[in-house]
Amino acid sequence: MKIAVFSARRYDKTMLAEANAGAGHALRFLEDRLTAATAPLAEGCEAVCVFVNDNVDAEVLGILAAQGTRLVATRSTGYNHIDAQAAERLGIAVVRVTDYSPHSVAEFAVGLLLAVNRKIARASTRTRDGNFDLDGLMGFDLHGKTVGVIGTGKIGVIFARIMAGFGCTVVGYDKFPSPAFETLGGRYVGIDELLQCSDVVSLHCPLTPETHHIVDAASLARVKRGCILVNTSRGGLIDTECAIAALKSGQLGGLAIDVYEQEASLFFQDLSSTIITDDVIQRLVSFPNVIVTGHQAFFTVEAIGQIMRTTIESISDFERGQPLRNRIPANP
């Protein structure tokens, strides 16, 4: 099959080509994001392969369908960037990566927590400049603290297990409780209790209309004062302006995020020589108790390898007319 691969970075080109070696698909790598303006670049391709910041809405899908595209394969687990109902109406199948190394994201979330709590990034910058003073670098022991986990799927459970290993009390909130979470000693509570009792809150739930801005002014007003908030899931879970206000007031003691609601125009590109006009992200990175990374929690050899293999397998299944195990339903 001819496949247009959008948002293709060097690692995408290398590792997707490796996964495709035995399948023989014709890959057309495009560094552009998929938008209505760039969709014509996929003309003649039966499939398009996209990533989290590509725009796969009804307008884009209509253009793709008119050009003969019959399959959209996203190199991600989340699919809030795709209008699945529009795809169904247009006869376009949509597949995703339902499972890849959940350890990659869970471990990175722990790393972010440690970095913001123990001021590791600031300390590293100081010592590079010859400053070995400890003033302003004090954190707190995680041992004995309460960690709230919102979303206890595979990643959330692994994160909780690691935090339990630190000697933390782990509480969770999820509409669909996990026996694995309870087996490791986790206890389910209501969202209000979780916010009020947790020294750390880590987000591991998908972005849906129900979870959009699950962290807003009202929820931030209920968190334990000085709480550290970690987000490695989706940027839209947090109302960033409200988080900034909570940081300024001291209600939030720290913020560590690998995702950002307006990241599509920023992440996965080098903007170091340009003027960034997004005032919100500029304000965020100005706080000494904030760490922002560019959506890299998934970025390990194991995870990327599995993502690429699963993507190629789904495309090959489609080509052969076989059932699509990783198909996204029109009404999830």
Beta pairing partners, 47: 3, 71
To the query of whether residue 222 is one of the catalytic residues in this protein, the response is no
The full length of the chain comes to 332
Ramachandran bin of 282, using left for φ above 0, alpha for ψ from -120 to 50, beta for the remaining angles? alpha
- Which helix (H) or strand (E) segment is 147 a member of? strand 146-150
To the query of whether residue 319 is one of the catalytic residues in this protein, the response is no
How far is 274 from 63, CA to CA, in rounded Å? 32
- Which helix (H) or strand (E) segment is 5 a member of? strand 2-5
**Torsion sign across C-alpha atoms 137, 296, 262, 163:** negative
Beta pairing partners, 227: 252
Asked whether 221 and 251 are in contact (CB, 8 A), the reply is: yes
How far is 60 from 41, CA to CA, in rounded Å? 12
Active-site annotation holder among 107, 261, 263, 313: 263
Active-site annotation holder among 75, 204, 295, 309: 295
Find all residues with CB under 8 Å of 74, minimum gap 6, and list them: 49, 50, 51, 52, 54, 56, 81, 82, 94, 95, 96, 97
What would the two tokens of residue 312 be?
Answer: 């190629």
To the query of whether residue 295 is one of the catalytic residues in this protein, the response is yes
Active-site annotation holder among 234, 261, 309, 313: 234
Beta pairing partners, 327: 95
The residues annotated with a catalytic role in the active site are 234, 263, 295
